[in-house]
C-alpha cells in the first residue's frame, strides 16, 4: 500500500515499475501543473479533494473533515490503461478514472491549510505521474446538504493511455491478470467494492465487473451483485 514515506522517497522512473520516460512528467512539470491548479482556487476557500477510488480507503493525507459526497456530471470508468503500479507494459491492467456523464458518489476530504502544499505535492506525485488526469475544480454535494468546491482528478481523453472501451467483457480479463510493484489490479477492484459497500454506495460500473473478475480468478461471486446507490 502507498504511504507518505514511499511517495516522498519514490523515484518516479523506477518505484512504480518500468515506465517509458517519455510518458513521465518531470518534477518541474508536476509542480507547474499544481501551481496552475492552485491559481484557479476559488476565493481562497478551503481545499477539498474528491476521492472516488483508492483515495477513499488510502488517502495518505490527514484531513480535517471527511464526508460522503456526490459529483454530478461524471461517472466512474476503468478507462485508463495501467502500465505501472498494479500493471506492466507487457501485461497492462485498467485503472479507474472519471468520464463525462452521470454522477459519482465518493468521499470529500478537507485538507488542513498548514500542510496544504506538502499534501498536494505528494498527491500530484501519486496521481499525476504521467499527467493522465485533468485536475479540475468541481462542485460537490455533501451528504449533510452543504455544497463545496473540490479538486477532482478527471480522465484526460486525449492522453495516450486513455481507453474508450470499458465493457466488462474487455476489461475483466485485463484486471484479473495484471499485477505490479504495488500489488494486483484485482486487489484494487475488490478494495473499491468493499469501500463502496462500507458507505452504502452503488456504482453501476462495478457489479458485473467484480463478479466477472472473481469468476476468472476462481473466487465465489459476491453475495449481492448490487453496490448500493451512489
List active site positions: 127
CA torsion sign, 127 to 155 to 110 to 200? negative
Q: Which residues contact 117 (CB under 8 A, 6 or more apart)?
A: none
Report phi then psi at 150, rounded to 5: -135, 155
Length of the chain: 230
Question: What is the phi/psi pair of residue 179, to 5°?
Answer: -155, 165
155 and 99 Cβ atoms separated by less than 8 Å? yes
Task: Report whether 154 contacts 104 (CB < 8 A).
Answer: no
Q: How many CA atoms lie within 13 A of 138 on its CB side?
A: 24
Amino acid at each position: 500500500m502507498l504511504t507518505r514515506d514511499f511517495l516522498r522517497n519514490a523515484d518516479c522512473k523506477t518505484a512504480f515499475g518500468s515506465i517509458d520516460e517519455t510518458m513521465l512528467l518531470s518534477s518541474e512539470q508536476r509542480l507547474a501543473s499544481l501551481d496552475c491548479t492552485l491559481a484557479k482556487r476559488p476565493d481562497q476557500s478551503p481545499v477539498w479533494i474528491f476521492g472516488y477510488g483508492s483515495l477513499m480507503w488510502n488517502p495518505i493525507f490527514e484531513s480535517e473533515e471527511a464526508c460522503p459526497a456526490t459529483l454530478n456530471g461524471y461517472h466512474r470508468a476503468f478507462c485508463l490503461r495501467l502500465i505501472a503500479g498494479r500493471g506492466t507494459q507487457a501485461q497492462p491492467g485498467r485503472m479507474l478514472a472519471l468520464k463525462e456523464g452521470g454522477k459519482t458518489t465518493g468521499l470529500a476530504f478537507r485538507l488542513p491549510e498548514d500542510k496544504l502544499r506538502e499534501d498536494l505535492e505528494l498527491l500530484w506525485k501519486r496521481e499525476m505521474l504521467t499527467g493522465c488526469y485533468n485536475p479540475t475544480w468541481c462542485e460537490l454535494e455533501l451528504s449533510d446538504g452543504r455544497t463545496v468546491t473540490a479538486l477532482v482528478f478527471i480522465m484526460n481523453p486525449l492522453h495516450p493511455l486513455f481507453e474508450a472501451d470499458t465493457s466488462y467483457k474487455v476489461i475483466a480479463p485485463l484486471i484479473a491478470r495484471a499485477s505490479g510493484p504495488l500489488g494486483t489490479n484485482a486487489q484494487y477492484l475488490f478494495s473499491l467494492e468493499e469501500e463502496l459497500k462500507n458507505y452504502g454506495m452503488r456504482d453501476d460500473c462495478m457489479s458485473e465487473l467484480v463478479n466477472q473478475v472473481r469468476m476468472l480468478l476462481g473466487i465465489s461471486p459476491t453475495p449481492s451483485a448490487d453496490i448500493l446507490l451512489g
